[in-house]
Amino acid sequence: MKKRTPAFSTPLAAAAQYQGTALIADPIHGYIPFTVPASSGTPASANGPSAEITEKDLIDSPWMQRLRLIYQLQSARWVFPSAEHSRFVHSLGAMHIAGRFARHLYPTLKEAVPETPSQPFVEELLRIAALFHDSGHGPFGHFFDDNFLNAYGITHEVVGQQIITRGVGNLIAKVRRSPNGDFAPGEEIDPAHAAFLIRKDPGPSASGLPRWLTILQPLLSGVYTVDNLDYVLRDAYMCGVSTGPIDLSRLIHYTFFTPQGLTLHKAGGSALGMFLNARLYMYSNVYYHRTTRAIDLHLREIFRETIRSIVPHNPMTRLTEYRRLTDWSLLEEVRSWPRSRHPRRRRLGAEWSRILARNVKWRMAYDTTLSVRQAEKGRTVISHADLEEKVRKELPPSLR
């Protein structure tokens, strides 16, 4: 009988594999690994000469911890009582999915763009971009974009880019490894590259950037992304609704890179369809629930005036002050306004009191389902040829 050769020469060597990483328990992904200072090093917070900057420092940064105080769902949480989760936990989930994609995609990325940096570097860049992709959100999430930030011609993504480069850029540039290995010698993450990845419409900002970077961008802004794959799963779970199965592993498995960009193999088409159906269900039954929309209509009447009373300037010019603006700080502020000496705040406070008591002034009076166009009489299913023709019409001429 042959003696089995141990994988590690000593117990200490076996234990060493656990140094430098830790786990976060998560109801969606099981465990999320993240980097922490190795036992031989000193945490960055100690400011020691051998301090190592890791993902723990990024997660513990004030900008990330702020997301604990911003709800993932703006108005829907008043309709689905268990949906009390935050942008913070969603960002951790997006980071985890980004890492999974990076490890799977790296071989085809390297083949498509040979000058691509090392696998741990690419993995960590994607993880950091995903971690901070929602860092620019204000209270009430996308509602804040539409009813305040738009007045300055910006979105939460633009604010998030500033947070990445100005708020935590010094930390990002010092990270030297992912949970799966060290960067190659001389590799250093440029915070501007992470900021580029979170912008859904990069526009001219993509010019001059390396191809290996721009080809990654659809992972955060495509049809299925590290963002929406997590929020559909997480929001459904936290709301207590059933969307049907979402096969995340199959989607990742059948995604690959070609010189033209991110590609899905036809064998992954069914998994994509399952996900898109689940996402549609969430929009129809949660995000656009009739009561959710009624609350939003009521909020729209007072929201911009409320925020301008608290933040009378462009957040981009005073990021430190913006960091203090959260759902929690906003709701605590407006709860005191009915007793304010200022007539305008008393008026706004009265409306906020109605909303917080779910005494919403809007009610659904009529409901119907409209089609983009009437189907041809007798036709219930579009043919493969017709569908292909319609898709080709939407493509650029070079791809038809």
- pLDDT digit string, tens, across residues 84-119: 999 999 999 999 999 999 999 999 999 999 999 999
Percentage, residues of the chain above pLDDT 70: 86
The confidence band for 389, taking pLDDT boundaries of 50, 70 and 90, is confident
Q: Kindly compute the dihedral angle of the four CA atoms of residues 378, 380, 384, 390, in this order, to the nearest 10 degrees.
A: 90
Which of 168, 183, 151, 142 minimizes the C-alpha distance to 64? 168
Given a cut of 50, whether residue 378 has pLDDT beyond it is no
Q: What's the chain's average pLDDT?
A: 88
Q: What is the pLDDT of residue 51?
A: 84
DSSP 3-state of 261 = strand
Q: How does pLDDT run across 247-289, given as a tens digit for each residue?
A: 999 999 999 999 999 999 999 999 999 999 999 999 999 998 9
Asked whether the predicted pLDDT for residue 328 surpasses 70, the reply is: yes
Angle between helices 303-310 and 343-356 (to 10 degrees): 120
Q: How many helices (H) and strands (E) does the chain have?
A: 20, 8
pLDDT (mean) for 317-340: 94
More confident residue, 180 or 383: 180
The pLDDT value recorded for residue 393 is 78
pLDDT at 203: 63
Q: Which residue has the tokens 């459904």?
A: 236
Binned at pLDDT 50, 70 and 90, residue 12 comes out as low
Tell whether the model's pLDDT for residue 225 goes beyond 50: yes
Burial of residue 186, with CB atoms counted within 10 A of its CB: 0-12 exposed, 13-18 middle, 19 or more buried: exposed
Three-state SS for 162-227 is HHHHHHCHHHHCCCCEECCEECCCCCCCCHHHHHHHCCCCCHHHHCCCCHHHHCCCHHHHCCCCHH
Amino acid (one-letter) located at 239:
C
Q: Are the C-beta atoms of 96 and 26 separated by less than 8 Å?
A: yes
Residue 23 bridge partners (DSSP): 33
Predicted confidence band at 397 (pLDDT cuts at 50, 70, 90)?
A: confident
Q: Tens digit of pLDDT for each residue in 331-369?
A: 999 999 999 999 999 999 999 999 888 887 776 655 655
Q: Domains (ranges, CATH) in the chain?
A: 26-294 (1.10.3210.10)
